[in-house]
């Protein structure tokens, strides 16, 4: 399927997708105040961290991290998106392994679990 937007328009639309301060993150932040939100210079860029409990939390978007319930493969530019999404999933697994091998707990929460 051909994209109905020009490359410039598609680039602009994609640049507006937030990677911080999303609604699911803000819901989690409000409920779990003991976690530090978007800690700086931490491996894997977790969304939240609790140093005392040695726990990191990632709020994973259903599209970007291939949610088993809501993910649908993109219809356009598949040569770009399919490898990109596979890399995201692989990177998630690698990050989880590093934290677990260091004695940390990793919690991954799907964005749909935190929506109203």
pLDDT in tens, 62-114: 998 999 999 998 888 889 889 999 999 999 999 999 999 999 999 999 999 99
Q: Give the residue from 23, 34, 47, 45 showing the smallest Cα distance to 116.
A: 23
**Domain contains 93:** yes
User: Is the model's pTM score more than 0.85?
Assistant: no
**Domain contains 12:** no
Number of domains in the chain: 1
Residue 19 token pair: 């990677």
**Domain contains 108:** yes
pLDDT of residue 60: 94
33: domain CATH number is 3.40.960.10
Range of the domain at 53: 19-113
**Domain contains 72:** yes
**Domain contains 34:** yes
**Domain contains 103:** yes
**Domain contains 46:** yes
């Amino acid at each position: 399927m051909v994209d109905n937007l020009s490359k410039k328009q598609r680039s602009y639309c994609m640049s507006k997708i937030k990677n911080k301060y999303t609604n699911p993150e803000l819901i989690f932040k409000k409920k779990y105040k003991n976690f530090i939100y978007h800690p700086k210079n931490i491996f894997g860029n977790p969304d939240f961290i609790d140093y005392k409990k040695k726990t990191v939390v990632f709020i994973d978007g259903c599209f970007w991290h291939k949610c088993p319930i809501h993910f649908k493969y993109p219809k356009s530019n598949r040569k770009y998106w399919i490898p990109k999404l596979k890399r995201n999933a692989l990177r998630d697994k690698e990050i989880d392994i590093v934290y677990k091998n260091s004695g940390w707990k990793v919690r991954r929460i799907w964005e749909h679990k935190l929506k109203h």
